[in-house]
Amino acid sequence: MKKNLILVVLSSIILLGCGQNAEKLLKKYITYSEVKPDENKAGVQLEMPTSVELSIKYSCPLLNTNEENMQTLSERWFVANVDNPNVKLPVKIGLTSIDTIVNDTIQQVVYAHIINLDSIKVRFLLIGFEGIGSTESKEAETPPLFFLVEKDKAGLKNLTLVPRLAGKLFVSDYTPTFFSEQEYSREIQFEKSKNVTLKLTLSRDMKKVTKLILSAEELQLTLPNFDKQRRKLSKAEEDKFIYSENSNLIMDLTGKGDANGNPIIRSVQLKGGFKATSPIEIVNEKITLDAIPMICDLTVTNACIYGTVKVEGWGCGTKAMYVVFRNTTTPQEIPKDILNK
């Protein structure tokens, strides 16, 4: 009875025709669990298009239609002898286009990895993937996994039709990255204002703010909070921000004018908002703006963006507020020392 049980378990790693030596060699991998579909969010698949090549595909569009993401993942695959998974064999992980998707007017290329094993003389191979972490992408999160492949004169045979969870089998030493733009947002409690929200979208490499949008049901700016030494916008900067459609202003003017007889604006209430018209550079993990209408000194991390924010215009302004903007695309734990400032 015990012998039959072992044969049933072995059948999940295809050993038919491999011989007794192969069974002994691969037996240690039986204890590694198969990756469940809900764990394999990247949709990793292994195919053999030729007798010496492996093709690695993904069903996740975030990955397979983005060449930059696919290049990143190329560095997370490796080939090793099953005897020692931590010693990688010299193979090149290439990239190839396998399909084209046309959706309305958008045409997308679908990519796959190609691994040529022609020069590899080892019979039993471990094809390892270091995975995609939860702090890199909620959509494509996938644990480290592996396939077992036999290479002989007849060609290649996948011994694990379903990939296995790697656990501590090998070390993943990649540098974490994001696989999509990251959005950060927060409601800002400006004085005498209502429903003011600032959203910042960052490029996947965290080097640019690709979108900055401030929306407000009511945003109150007052004369005492305006910095008279504020740097004026240069000609090139005048169109850096534009006001949202349907935005409007309510101005409160003083009874007396200035020396030239012009009315003095005591306060301004903005309804609507504004947005940046072009990307904003992130330098040394800092977003620094020092001209009307957005004044900020912010530090960028994967989990959050934090620092001071102020709005000015029409000779009026808000008080500077300390704000922590949470990553809403790939939520992560924010250090307490940042939250409690």
pLDDT in tens, 153-210: 889 999 998 999 999 999 888 999 999 999 999 999 999 999 999 999 999 999 999 9
Nearest to 131 by CA among 87, 72, 89: 72
- H helix and E strand count, the chain: 5, 21
Q: Would the pLDDT of 255 be above 80?
A: no
Is the C-alpha dihedral spanning 276, 281, 286, 290 positive or negative? negative
Q: Would the pLDDT of 102 be above 60?
A: yes
Cβ contacts of 19 within 8 Å, gap of 6 or more? none
Q: How confident is the model at residue 1 (pLDDT cuts 50, 70, 90)?
A: very low
Nearest to 320 by CA among 306, 309, 333: 309
Phi, psi for residue 141 in degrees, rounded to 5: -55, 125
DSSP code for 35? P
What residue segments make up the domains of the chain, in order of their start? Answer: 32-165, 182-339
Residue 327 Ramachandran class (φ > 0 left, ψ -120 to 50 alpha, else beta): beta
Q: Which two tokens stand for residue 286?
A: 């800092």
Q: Kindly state the helix (H) or strand (E) to which residue 6 belongs, with its residue range.
A: helix 2-10
Is the C-alpha dihedral spanning 11, 17, 18, 20 positive or negative? positive
* 181 vs 106, higher pLDDT: 181
Q: What angle do CA 101, 99, 93 make, to 5 degrees?
A: 130
Q: How far is CA 87 from CA 29, 71, 79, in A?
A: 17, 22, 9
C-alpha 198 chain-centroid distance: 20
Quote the pLDDT of residue 117.
95
The CA distance from 11 to 27, in Å, is: 11
End-to-end CA distance of the chain: 65
Q: Locate tokens 């790697």: which residue?
A: 166
Contact 59, 122 (CB under 8 A): no
Does the reported pTM lie above 0.85?
no
Q: Which two tokens stand for residue 263?
A: 């009315």
Contact 220, 191 (CB under 8 A): yes
Phi, psi for residue 113 in degrees, rounded to 5: -85, 145
Q: Would the pLDDT of 40 be above 60?
A: yes
pLDDT in tens, 75-100: 999 999 998 898 899 999 999 988 77
The CA distance from 167 to 164, in Å, is: 9
Quote the pLDDT of residue 4.
40
Coil/strand/helix, residue 15: coil
Quote the pLDDT of residue 25.
72
Average pLDDT of the residues of the chain: 89
Q: How confident is the model at residue 235 (pLDDT cuts 50, 70, 90)?
A: confident
Q: What angle do CA 335, 208, 225 make, to 5 degrees?
A: 70
Quote the pLDDT of residue 46.
96
Quote the pLDDT of residue 9.
42
Q: Locate tokens 């301004």: which residue?
A: 268
Provide the residue type at 310 as one letter: K
Contact 272, 248 (CB under 8 A): yes
